[in-house]
Chain A
Amino acid sequence: MSILAKFSQLQQTYDQLGALQPNPFAVTFEQILSSTEGVIDGRRTILLGTNNYLGLTMDADCIAQSVQALQQQGTGTTGSRVANGSYASHRALEQDLAKFFQRQHCMVFSTGYQANLGMLSTLVGRGDHLILDADSHASIYDGARLGHAEVIRFRHSDPDDLYKRLRRLKDTPGSKLIVVEGIYSMLGDLAPLREIAQVKREMGAYLMVDEAHSMGVLGEHGRGLAEAAGVEADVDFIVGTFSKSLGSVGGFCVADIEGFNVLRVACRPYMFTASLPPSIIASTRQALRHLEADATLRARLTNNANHLYEGLRELGLQVGPHASPIVSVALEDQALAVRFWNALLHNGLYLNLALPPATPSNKPLLRASVSAAHSRRQIDRAIQLFGEVAVQLGVLGTGSGAPIAMVA
């Protein structure tokens, strides 16, 4: 029997998805025309599933900074910060991020995934407790598995359930770390962070917020949900990524805790991997400057997000619990979702298909992520296509436009 035999069922599922072509999990963009448009299968296509919230991937200043760093410092660092040394720009980016979040300390990682892997596997150890939201991102679950703490889950975005679980741990020794996300990546719902912070204060735990989808999106200054909810003082650790609003790749953690820097020699996903190339650091720093200086980016993003959310809701489609730059439409079954997704793509609209068990309810999702760079015309076109395909496939006519039920 082949070593891959255990994947036979997965292979079957994957092959079925490909029958209509292209396979939703193997899309190739032949060309990128702008931060909101590309070419797929020779067709000009609106990109509505790229997490490119501020549209900065094609920003001229970010590209110029990146090119300059590339020419002056080369293509890669060829080693880890700890073993092979940091470039000055790694430190500068850490200082920029610390300043932006008004924190003492920052550590930069090679991806957002690794930031979670690193922080979660290192902050808590044997005898400590990790308390995760049940709908946490894979990188959070994987970080939990890499470490040695006891891991328990609480019901998604349910502060009472969190309270119950901390109460059960009350007399148990060891540090307790609660982990939540600012905006959840599947339905675009926000964590009830004020209530969670209150539970944290009352029960005496540490709190980490993953602002991957909320940095540059929420808060008056774009610092994310912790800022928007007014609870930054209660949040001990913020992790995030450069791969969404900052348009590059990489991850980070900021904190005020004394002694933070010891993590640089304790955290394996920081120590044993190559650091980010200088060109990436340079564009990321420039993107952060734009994010700080230009609040109109956030305003445009919010406008676009509201417009798409309302448009799809008014059509009668099942959207998430509230408007955010992630707008998801739930469909009844997988075959229908795949056909819907294909029809949109063939008409020049790309977004993401998410299938259970990656989705929070048992339903497949068509997941859109809106950008500040989308034009009103592009969003209108997307709504129009959704409407046409929904009618063609018989999705509309019975729907009530009710929000997608969240996991109990």
Chain B
Amino acid sequence: MTDSSENIRVDVIAALKKILPRPVAISGATHIVQDLGLDSLAIMNFMLEIEDRFDISIPLDRAADIATVDDLVLAIEALVKQEKA
């Protein structure tokens, strides 16, 4: 993981903590759906928030491949790079 991915991960975890009803320990390996018990509406709104935060759009086919926090971090990093290129 690079420096920028570490920063992204901090942001992603903070955003997740904000929408969880109770404080939960979250790491890069945490499964966003299975471990956190978020429903599909909460997940969709979370993804829209993340997209705004990083000024990217995550295509649905890529979103489908995201399971863990780190999967999301990698996807964001790739899209941010693409955006800047």
Contacts and interface: CB of A to CB of B under 8 A. Distances in A.
Contacts of B45: 407-408
A357 interface: yes
Contacts of B58: 152
Contact of B59 (A134, A150, A361): A150
A155 interface: yes
Contacts of B40: 357
A362 B41 contact: yes
A152 B57 contact: yes
Contacts of A407: 41, 45
A354 B31 CA distance: 29
Given A168-B83, A356-B41, A362-B41, A134 B57 contact: no
A385 interface: no
A144 B64 CA distance: 13
A174 B59 CA distance: 15
Contacts of B44: 134, 153
B83 A152 contact: no
A396 interface: no
A151 interface: yes
A168 B45 CA distance: 19
Contacts of B55: 164, 168
B24 interface: no
Contacts of B29: none
B83 A151 contact: no
Contacts of B41: 356-357, 361-362, 407
Contacts of A164: 52, 55
Given A134-B48, A407-B45, A408-B45, A151 B60 contact: yes
A151 B57 CA distance: 9
A150 B45 CA distance: 20
Contacts of B39: 356-357, 362
A361 B40 CA distance: 11
Q: Which of B40, B48, B57, B59 has the most CB of A within 10 A?
A: B57
Contacts of A151: 59-61
Contacts of A356: 39, 41
B43 to A, nearest CB: 10
A152 B60 contact: yes
Contacts of B48: 134, 153, 155, 161
Interface string B31-61: 0000000011100110010001001111111
A63 B85 CA distance: 61
A169 interface: yes
Interface string A150-175: 11110100000100110011000000
A407 B39 CA distance: 14
Interface of A: 134, 144-145, 150-153, 155, 161, 164-165, 168-169, 356-357, 361-362, 407-408
Interface of B: 39-41, 44-45, 48, 52, 55-61, 83
6 contacts: A145-B60, A151-B59, A165-B57, A168-B55, A356-B39, A407-B45
Given A145-B60, A168-B56, 15 more contacts: A151-B60, A152-B57, A152-B58, A152-B59, A153-B44, A153-B48, A161-B48, A165-B57, A168-B55, A169-B57, A356-B41, A357-B39, A362-B39, A407-B41, A408-B45
The 10 A-B residue pairs with the shortest CB-CB distance in the complex, in nearest-first order: A152-B57, A151-B60, A150-B59, A357-B40, A165-B57, A362-B41, A152-B59, A168-B57, A151-B59, A357-B41
